């Protein structure tokens, strides 16, 4: 049973009112505000700065403006909720990126040897899989690379479908699962950092190695500006790609996307091993953060609101 279904069964009589949504939105903004304060302190102590491009600022302000317009001027609960959800995800994601870089900057000892040993303990040969996909069957490897890169597109499509079909509960639940899961992943990545299987096994030159320059720069202290227009996902352990794939599967249940998202995201989880340079343990622990996020939401008394038909 999904998290949203559980909430609906427990509270089927609840109606999503403007006041309830405002309270929930306030909680989300408070979390973003607290994260921003922590990020600001971390930047100050690290003598670092953030570069925030015009597109991000403009997009965020447009979404906030649309939410206010459809809440107070031309009242349309559906459009207001869509703009709110998107604005909060934009704000949360960008602050989380900064925190992930600051976490890596703490320079805890790398755990790659341990992760590789854990893979070996379950008889998983990462290097053999990489060779099979990237060298012996490059078409298969290239296909998995493409699937790995669909993450942002999938999120965008999911939100469009959920909001256009008035499944606002699922959209908001997706936001909370996304946020809480990432809040679990970032601290773990700080105390248990990894450079990833690409670097550990010496095959980075055969890949895009997209995250390694930033990862090495932030750990060495040579990076003084976090450019959000060029930032990449530098977290290897646990794999947030794997976690988000599971969230996308759960959040698409009951929609036309589910028959596509289920196999697509199973493949995305698999692709994380070679297209993302993740150890098997990265993926396993990444998947485990999702039920942990659900449990955290329940223990903290978080409630979403059952779907209601909005004219």
Q: What is the pLDDT of residue 19?
A: 54
pLDDT in tens, 29-83: 999 999 999 999 999 999 999 998 889 999 999 999 999 999 889 888 888 888 9
Q: What is the pLDDT of residue 298?
A: 85
pLDDT in tens, 80-131: 888 999 999 999 999 999 999 999 999 999 999 999 999 999 999 999 999 9
pLDDT in tens, 271-298: 999 999 999 999 999 999 999 999 998 8
Reply yes or no on whether the pLDDT at 169 is more than 90. Answer: no
Reply yes or no on whether the pLDDT at 15 is more than 80. Answer: no
Report pTM: 0.88
Q: What is the pLDDT of residue 10?
A: 40
Q: Is 70 a member of any domain?
A: yes
C-alpha pair distances (Å), 11 with each of 1, 165, 291, 305: 15, 21, 21, 8
Reply yes or no on whether the pLDDT at 152 is more than 70. Answer: yes
Which tokens go with 113? 């040897």
pLDDT in tens, 181-216: 999 999 999 999 999 999 999 999 999 999 999 999
Q: Is 311 a member of any domain?
A: no
CA-based torsion, 254, 257, 263, 264: positive or negative: negative
Tell me whether strands 49-51 and 225-227 are parallel, antiparallel or unpaired: parallel
For 124, other C-beta atoms within 10 Å of its C-beta total: 16
C-alpha pair distances (Å), 207 with each of 84, 200, 239: 38, 13, 18
Q: Is 33 a member of any domain?
A: yes
Measuring CA to CA, which residue among 200, 168, 11 is closest to residue 77?
168
Report how many domains make up the chain.
Answer: 1
What percent of the chain is predicted at pLDDT more than 90?
Answer: 77
* Domain range enclosing 152: 3-299
Q: Is 180 a member of any domain?
A: yes
- The gap from C-alpha 234 to its chain's centroid, in whole angstroms, comes to 12
Q: What is the pLDDT of residue 282?
A: 97
pLDDT band for 305, please (50, 70, 90 cuts). very low
- b or e along 263-285 (b: 16 or more beta carbons within 10 Å of the residue's beta carbon)? ebbebbbbbbbbbbbbbbbbbbb
pLDDT band for 21, please (50, 70, 90 cuts). low
Q: Is 20 a member of any domain?
A: yes
Q: Is 133 a member of any domain?
A: yes
Q: What is the pLDDT of residue 311?
A: 32
274, 134 contact by CB (below 8 A) = yes
Q: What is the pLDDT of residue 20?
A: 58
Q: Is 304 a member of any domain?
A: no
Q: Is 309 a member of any domain?
A: no
Reply yes or no on whether the pLDDT at 7 is more than 70. Answer: no
pLDDT greater at residue 167 or residue 215: 215
pLDDT in tens, 227-271: 999 999 999 999 999 999 999 999 999 999 999 999 999 999 999
Q: What is the pLDDT of residue 4?
A: 45
Which tokens go with 42? 């971390």
């Amino acid at each position: 049973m999904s998290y949203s279904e559980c909430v609906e069964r427990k509270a089927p009589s609840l109606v999503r009112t403007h006041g309830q949504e405002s309270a929930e939105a306030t909680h989300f903004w408070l979390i973003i505000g607290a994260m921003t304060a922590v990020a600001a302190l971390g930047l100050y102590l690290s003598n670092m700065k953030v570069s925030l491009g015009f597109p991000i600022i403009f997009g965020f302000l447009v979404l906030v403006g649309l939410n206010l317009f459809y809440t107070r001027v031309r009242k349309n609960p559906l459009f207001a909720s869509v703009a709110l959800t998107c604005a909060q995800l934009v704000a949360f994601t960008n602050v989380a990126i900064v925190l992930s870089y600051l976490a890596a900057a703490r320079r805890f000892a790398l755990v790659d040897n341990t992760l590789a040993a854990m893979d070996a303990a379950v008889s998983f040969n990462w290097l053999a899989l990489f060779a099979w996909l990237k060298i012996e069957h490059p078409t298969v490897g290239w296909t998995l690379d493409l699937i790995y890169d669909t993450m942002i597109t999938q999120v965008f499509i999911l939100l469009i479908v959920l909001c256009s079909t008035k499944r606002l509960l699922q959209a908001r639940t997706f936001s909370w699962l996304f946020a809480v899961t990432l809040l679990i992943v970032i601290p773990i990545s700080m105390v248990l950092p990894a450079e990833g299987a690409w670097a550990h096994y010496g095959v980075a030159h055969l890949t895009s190695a997209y995250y390694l320059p930033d990862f090495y720069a932030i750990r060495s202290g040579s990076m003084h500006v976090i450019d959000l227009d060029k930032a990449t996902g530098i977290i290897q352990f646990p794999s947030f790609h794997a976690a988000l794939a599971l969230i996308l599967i759960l959040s698409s249940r009951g929609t036309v996307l589910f028959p596509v998202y289920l196999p697509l995201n199973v493949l995305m989880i698999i692709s994380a091993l070679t297209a993302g340079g993740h150890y098997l343990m990265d993926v396993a622990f990444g998947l485990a953060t999702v039920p942990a996020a659900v449990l955290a939401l329940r223990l903290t008394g978080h409630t979403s609101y059952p779907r209601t038909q909005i004219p």
